[in-house]
Chains A and B, each alone.
Chain A
Amino acid sequence: SSDFDIHDEL
């Protein structure tokens, strides 16, 4: 799924 709470990529 798309977890947009924390964007872990740069």
Chain B
Amino acid sequence: IFGGRAAEAAQVPWQVFLRDAATWAGGALVAARWVLTAAHAVDGAAPPAAFAGSASARSADLRRAQALRPRRVFLHPGWKAGLEPDARRDFDHDIALLQLRDPVEMGPAVGPICLPGRSEAYTPSAGDVGLISGWGGTERRERALTLRAAVVPVVPAQRCRQAAAQADGGVYAFTDNMLCAGEPGVDSCQGDSGGALAVRDPQHRDDDNPRFYVAGLVSWGKKCGTYGVYTKVSRYLDWILKTMQENDVADDD
């Protein structure tokens, strides 16, 4: 996270840390057995280890966190899987669901983020702000060991198209399934992938206890600290609900 500061788990209780040899990413807990993340973060041979309720990414601290046993990864059918990460230029449909073997025990540091509603109000537009968080790169480090978070504004898609074009001659595709957010110096970065762009629920009026929904997922960007591209979750609500409904199992196999 660029332009952010240290966060506590209770401030972003939906934040899930995905970690294995090839993965250092985030995810958003959306139900007791389901974690929403970026497809490119879990597009590997096996689901990565997952942790909830810890602001620290240190191994010693993770041992005290709630370990989530992945059961299965559901990549969005539109996601072009299996490409070499360095060669990928198409991040369309960068969304996946990680199914857990056991339900997550909710508490002060662990809790799901809401899914977006069906109305247009749940597709953020320029001027809205969102909270991003993760253990990705910062201005000073390639990876953060303590969770960091920042507030980013949603900006017109053109900003990201321009940024992409300037960086790589327009080979990156920016689609309607993506959100553009950030501002100079405030952005997500490598290692934050899959984490939520959390936006206040426009239909929840309790200012003392604001409610957040997952508007976007950290997806890609060319240069950290400019603008970042986020998967527009509202476009995938049906797929998310259908996948969870069809595959929800109560018993551990």
The answer to whether A binds B is: no
A residues sitting closer than 8 Å to B (CB atoms) are none
B residues sitting closer than 8 Å to A (CB atoms) are none
